[in-house]
Structure 1
């Protein structure tokens, strides 16, 4: 049972905010997950326990859980209970890019952002990559090359390569925002010419070699060159739209 001082602390928090009661309780549940180290795929206390711990009704608990489900923090499994999701809080398309009508302009806007962020991320990765991470980065680079050579769509593998570079920065914020920044990759890979595909293979190799050599300046320059070359892919996409 919840101690009196804990109950008073909870109620004080509830009264001191303008959020609705379910929103406040959702925040309390999040804190409970953190405090009790409830990890991905682990089960939360049941509805009765949560209501007692947080000193609110079961209906409020249900509403709070719905909010956390919508935020991709929790998953309700019928007949089994409520579980923490594997990638807490992460949403496939958090900014709603899938619903942007003008995809070409969106790609151009994202490219501006990529030119500012990704070279710096590559520079940081070169400074922080571990010996254990180097083979994986090399393998992801080789996988993009293999897929391009086979004539298949390499968009997903390309994104995975850039995501792993972000991981090698050991900066949790960069790791989380990289999928948003690289959203444009799969939007126009099918417009790339043979020359641009060869450029991708070459610059990916240069980026990988520079990072594994722990050369921040070369990593920065190679990534900048790579992202800048991708602008040609967008230009081709624009031209294709005009011609159609």
Structure 2
């Protein structure tokens, strides 16, 4: 961590500028510099890249969805192997470390084929339009957290996994640059859509997938950790 702090201090950039480049909150950078927070692997990677440096070549690429898949396997105690399984199992001291590291290693907006739009439509209207188009989907993000009983006031972004072209669906939904709703559309990847539950006609992502997706965006990290806490309490 001392090396990261040195690079930040010598960069000549403000903490807010570094945070924007890295896709983390300014408070995260401030706490790291003050020695109040040890960055996860994902956060450290993003900060170093934002400052114009790179980890050694054996480190995974900046956005690696395998980290999220590995985290799900470890949480569900499923048999799995690979770089991320070994890394998370070795270095994540708590389940909070696990989901934060995995989420930060695969930011929602940087995942392959992600389409982001703004609209004024409500989530239910969006889900209805997707269903009417005959497209299978799984909803995640803040709306899924609310559906699982975790209150939230941010209401952004709405995350939807779809079976088929995310780009095509993004074009089909109405765009409004001034709309208050951000929608991130991702294609099914064989893992994220697994374990979905249907409630009131809406297909919601598995609760731990929702947590991982929330922790893949600095704006919803806190909501993800609150949801994680509830899930772990109910697990006993």
Superposition TM-score, scaled by structure 2 size: 0.26
Superposition TM-score, scaled by structure 1 size: 0.26
> Counting helix residues as a fraction of each chain, which structure ranks higher?
1
> Counting strand residues as a fraction of each chain, which structure ranks higher?
2
